[in-house]
Structures are given as structure tokens and as C-alpha cells.
Structure 1
Amino acid sequence: MEAIMDAHGLWEAIEPPTDVAVDEKKSKQARAFIFQSIPEEILSQAAKKKTAKEVWDSLKSRYVGAERAEKARLRILKSEFEALQMKGGETVDDYAGKLSGMVSKYNSVGAELDDEELVRKLFDTVPERFINLVASIEQSLDVESMPFEEGIAHLKAYEDRVKLRQSHRATENSLLFSKTESQTSSKGHGKGQQFTNQRSGGRGKADRGGRCNTPCYESQI
């Protein structure tokens, strides 16, 4: 804005030369020019200022204060970003969501996180279970030019593969346990039946005369 007003010969209404009175007409023109260039939410407050210099000074104070606040906020965000670590039980999607959230926060203060920073942060802060995968990626791919989404995709594919293998292993263990239980139950039933047969088969039957027609093993009194 300063360069444009200077090109129109209006900047001297904002910063007049020493011992030179401000041209009232130029001041009004500069004031009107500033009003056309600022957001509507600020216009009502700026309109209370009578000269172009007063308007400019109020805007400068407002934006310088806001700039300082944004710098302080950015320092906090940088510390927050540096402290991020993927937890042991956290999924790739959950952690990637946190990193993406930091991108939005950076943008809110006029800063940005590029893909290289995000990918490096992602690979440097994953748990031990991803270390071999990360080492392999770094040896075979150009991490510096890798899009953030691609980095996430590599980790997620590995995570899904591990989950699938664990699921298959759990299913196999469950089937093996069921088979063992079934075999144990069958053996127990077979022994019980054999014991019952032995008990029933060991008793003789007597005829009407009291004599056994099969071997009798019961005690006699």
C-alpha cells in the first residue's frame, strides 16, 4: 500500500517532509484510498480518524501488535510440533491426523509446514516396530521429495499387513485350541464308556436255581 500511495504522490500525507505542512486535499485522498484497501470489519474503527496519518498510525499499531502475537504463537506451535511422538498403541491414521492438524495451525499464523518437514517428522518419530521399514524406505526412495501422503501410505500398508498376519495367527490358534479340546473330550468319553462296559460285563446272571449261568464275582455270605 505504501508503494502505491507513493506512486500516486499521496505518501507525503502520511509522512510529510520536515517543516512541510500536509496538503489537506492529499490527506483526504490518501485517507479515502486507505479506506478502499482495508477490510470492512476494520473500517468502522478507522473511519473515526480525521487525517490519513492518524488512520495509517492506527492500522500500523493494530497490525504490528497482531504480527507480534502471531510470532509468539508460531514459537509455541514449533515447540508443540517438535514434541510430537507417535505412541506405541497409536495407529498411523491417528498420528498422521495430528501432523495434519499442525499444518492448519501453522497456516492460521501465516506459516507453513512443507512435505519434507512432515515426512521427516513422521519417519523420525515412529515406534520401534516401524524402524526397519523406515530404514528400507530411506535407502530406496528420495525422502526429501516424497509427498506427505506417500509417506503415510507406506507406513499404513505395513501396519495393515501386520494386522492381517496377526489376525490369521489368532484364527489358527483358535482352531488348534478347538481341535485339541475336541480330541481331549473324545478320549475322556471313550474311557468312561469302556469303564461302564467293564462294570456291566463283570456281573453274572443266575438261573432260577441260584446258579450262575455266567461267571459270578459277587461275594457270597
Structure 2
Amino acid sequence: MEGEAKFSHITLPIFDGENYDLWEVKMQSYMESLDLWDAVEEDYEIYPLLENPTMAQIKNHKERKMKKAKARSCLFTGVSQMIFIRIMTLKSPKAIWDYLKEEYVGDDRIRSMQVLNLRREFELQRVEESDTIKEYSNKLLGIANKIKLLGSDFAYSRIVEKILVTVLERYEASIASLENTKDLSKITLAEVLHALQAQEQRRLMRQDRVVEGALPAKHHEVDESKKDFFKKNQPASSENSANNQNKGKDKNKNYPPCQHCGKLGHPPYKCWKRPDAKCNKCNQLGHEAIICKSKFQ
């Protein structure tokens, strides 16, 4: 009983007017799990109790009555408000179920037309360049399952043939391998999907490696372009000042040894040890204040 209580808390599938076939399968499975489906399928009558009923008769009468009430409640809860308004006056679960089926599935003639349209849709399916194998196979499986829900047979071998014929040219290697190793008349859908998906994954991995290898080269090109940009747009004043400093240094190196101190790099008239130079620290001739000995003392 505890397991049934837990299962009853599973959310009911709600029918909003679309995809009735899917909702029908889900709702039937849900009601079977709660032991309520026989109230819909059999549509038994609940007769009043006889005089002086036994305890077993009372219990059985109550269970059958409650089962029909629960089944009716499930169907009311499992539809949208718009659909509930249309079925709220129906008294039995069987009447509700038949009304929904007739309204949204139709008779045999309508169902045969729906199957014909679905088969046509299946034949017109083609792989897009952006589709993966899984996406394409899901489209085909969805159409095939709708055809089965309408009561028509549809073999999975037809899906296998469709995939092998319509896949893109880049999967030809996998198809050729299957032809050489398998009997295509007995091959399963799972085997075909696994082979094609394996090749698809290898192709994606190769593309990822190419992209990863291209990124460092691109960054190197960006760095080089930045260097060229800064070289071209470097201020002229800084270049001139650097050139002037270099020229000054080169010019100073061209002076001969000074006749006063014997050192290179300056003309005699700028020498700190000129005989006519007067120190403003000690007021003596023969040197300038920058090399005055009294300054350091």
C-alpha cells in the first residue's frame, strides 16, 4: 500500500488538445498502475445492495464504486480546463474516454488519412547540413511512433533504409564499412546509429584540434601587428630626443684629450681645471667649485 501511495503522487499527464495519441498511452499506463483501468475498459454497472448483504458484498460494492469514481476523477484532472468543460457532464469514465478518442482521433477513415500524411512526411524527410545523426533519427522515430499509435504497422527496418539512403556524403565511409561487415537486411537501427555517431564524433574532434592549433598562430599575428602599430605611431619628439642624445654622445667622443686635465669628452674651455677658472667656494683660481677640495672637507 505504501508503494501505491507513493506512485499516486506522480504528476498526471495533462491533455491540452494536442498530441492526443501520446497522452492516451501515458494516461492508460498511469491508470493501470493504480488498478483503475478496468473501470474504463469494462464500464461495469454498480447495482444497489440487496437486503441483508454480507460484509464481503458491502466491501466489494464499495471498492467498485470507489474505483469508478477515482477513474473519473483522474480523467477530469488529466485534461485542461477548456476540455474539462466539454466532458464535465459525462458520468462514467468509459463515456469520457470514448468522447475524447472520437473527438481527437476520429473514425477509421480519418485515422487512415492521418497515417497517409505521416507516411508522406516520413518520405520527405532529408538531412540538413546542421543536423546531427541523433537529431535526424529522432525526427524519423517520432513520425514512425505516431503511425504506430494510430494502429498502423511501421517497421524499424524502414528507418534504417531511410537513414542509409539520405545521410550526407561525409558518412559514406561508415556505410561502406557496414556493407562489408554486416547484412544490411538484418542490421538493427542501434548498430547504424552507433556507427554513424562514432564517425561524427571523430570528425568533431578533428575540427576542435584544428581550431585549437589556429589560436596560438592568431595570437602571434596580433602581437606582431601591435608592435608594428606602436613603431609606426611612436611620437616623433621622443625619437628626435633619443637621436639628439646619441648624436651628442658621439660628438663628445670625438674631442681630443684636454690640455688642462688630459681627459676625453670635453673641449678645453669647458674643463673644470682651467687656469682662469675661479672657485666660488675658496675664491682661488685653477678649478671650479664642483671639484673644490674645501667643499668635500
Structure-1-length-normalised TM-score: 0.57
Partner of 1:99: 140
Distance 1:199 1:132, change over 3 A: farther
Query: C-alpha offsets along residues 131-182 of structure 1, whole Å, 9 cap, x if unaligned?
Result: 3332332233222212212211111111111011000011001122223444
Partner of 1:125: 166
Partner of 1:109: 150
User: Does 2:247 match 1:202?
Assistant: yes
User: Does 2:114 match 1:70?
Assistant: no
Partner of 1:54: none
Structure-2-length-normalised TM-score: 0.44
Contact map agreement 1:116 1:143 (CA 8 A) in 2: no
Rg bigger for which structure?
2
Q: Which runs of 5+ in 1 are unaligned?
A: 1-37, 46-64, 212-221
Distance 1:89 1:208, change over 3 A: farther
**Which protein, 1 or 2, shows the higher relative CO under an 8 Å CA cutoff with sep ≥ 6?**
1
Shift of 1:198: 5.7
What SS is found at the alignment partner of 1:144? coil
Partner of 1:87: 128
Q: Which runs of 5+ in 2 are unaligned?
A: 1-40, 44-91, 97-105, 253-265, 272-297
Equivalenced residues, count: 155
Q: Superposed, which structure 2 residues align to 1:8-157 within 5 Å?
A: 40=43, 66-157=107-198
Query: C-alpha offsets along residues 173-202 of structure 1, whole Å, 9 cap, x if unaligned?
Result: 11222234446667888998xx78665322
Partner of 1:34: none
What SS is found at the alignment partner of 1:156? helix
Shift of 1:97: 1.1
Distance 1:91 1:176, change over 3 A: same
Distance 1:82 1:182, change over 3 A: same
Question: Which is richer in helix?
Answer: 1
Distance 2:229 2:124 in 1: 60
Question: Percent of counterpart pairs with the same letter?
Answer: 20
Distance 1:187 1:75, change over 3 A: closer
Distance 1:72 1:171, change over 3 A: same
Counterpart AA for 2:269: G
Partner of 1:219: none
Return 161-170 or 112-121, whichever deviates more.
112-121
Aligned-residue Cα RMSD (Å) equals 3.6
